[in-house]
């Protein structure tokens, strides 16, 4: 069985067991985590899936772990596990995410920065701005950190924005609901 096929079978197995939301997938992850390390190695993944009726061929568990292991530590943490099991997004969802990003990216350079936010949004009602603890630029930087990947460099790329909303998308049932949420949130 090819690795992509194994991933699809694993997704289906999770859904079959009622693990459709974050709590369900987290429970499924903990069930696989035999040594309670809060991370899965290839052996745990292989044994756990085998117990659940999803037998992988030799080397597939190692391949899947390498493919999903974003931080390179040789194991899968819960975030990596959840990210890998997200179903692909529909084109309608990708389109509305792109529209929201385009609204933020005033310069059109493919990166949203504090400069892009100035003049469109105001951070002056933020409690830390009002208390004098933060400047308006600090408010904007913290806002961008929500979408920024691990580096928190104050710049959000279209890929980072898409990745952020991919996580949210996985838990919104219909395209119509997701599009309505994005339209409202970003006033599109």
d(CA 16, CA 29): 15
Per-residue pLDDT at 70: 80
pLDDT at 97: 97
Helices 3-16 and 60-68: crossing angle, nearest 10°?
Answer: 80
**Residue 115, pLDDT score:** 94
Query: Which pLDDT score, from 0 to 100, does residue 112 have?
Result: 95
The pLDDT, as a whole number, for residue 152 is 82
pLDDT score for 67 = 82
Q: Strand 111-112 relative to strand 76-77: parallel, antiparallel, unpaired?
A: unpaired
Domains, the chain, with CATH or none: 1-85 (1.10.238.10), 91-186 (1.10.238.10)
pLDDT value of position 18: 54
Give me the phi and psi of 156, to 5 degrees please: -115, 120
Q: What pLDDT shows up at residue 133? A: 96
DSSP notation for 116-142? HHBTTB--TTSHHHHTTSS-HHHHHHH
Q: Mean pLDDT for each consecutive 10-residue tract of the chain (188 residues)?
A: 64 60 69 83 82 74 82 82 79 97 94 91 93 95 86 88 87 90 94
């Amino acid at each position: 069985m090819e690795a992509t096929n194994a991933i699809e079978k694993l997704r289906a197995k999770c859904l079959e067991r009622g693990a459709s939301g974050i709590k369900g997938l987290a429970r499924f992850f903990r069930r696989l985590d035999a040594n309670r390390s809060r991370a899965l190695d290839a052996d745990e993944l292989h044994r756990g899936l085998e117990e659940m009726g999803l037998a992988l061929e030799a080397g597939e568990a190692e391949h899947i772990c390498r493919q999903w292991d974003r931080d390179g530590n040789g194991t899968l943490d819960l975030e990596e596990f959840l990210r890998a099991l997200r179903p692909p997004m529909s084109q309608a969802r990708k389109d509305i995410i792109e529209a929201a990003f385009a609204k933020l990216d005033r310069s059109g350079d493919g990166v949203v920065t504090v400069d892009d936010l100035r003049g469109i949004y105001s951070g002056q009602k933020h409690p830390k701005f009002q208390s004098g603890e933060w400047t308006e630029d600090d408010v904007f930087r913290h806002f961008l950190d929500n979408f920024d990947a691990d580096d928190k460099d104050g710049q959000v790329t279209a890929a980072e924005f898409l990745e952020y909303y991919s996580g949210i998308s996985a838990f919104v049932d219909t395209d119509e609901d997701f599009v309505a949420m994005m339209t409202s949130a970003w006033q599109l």
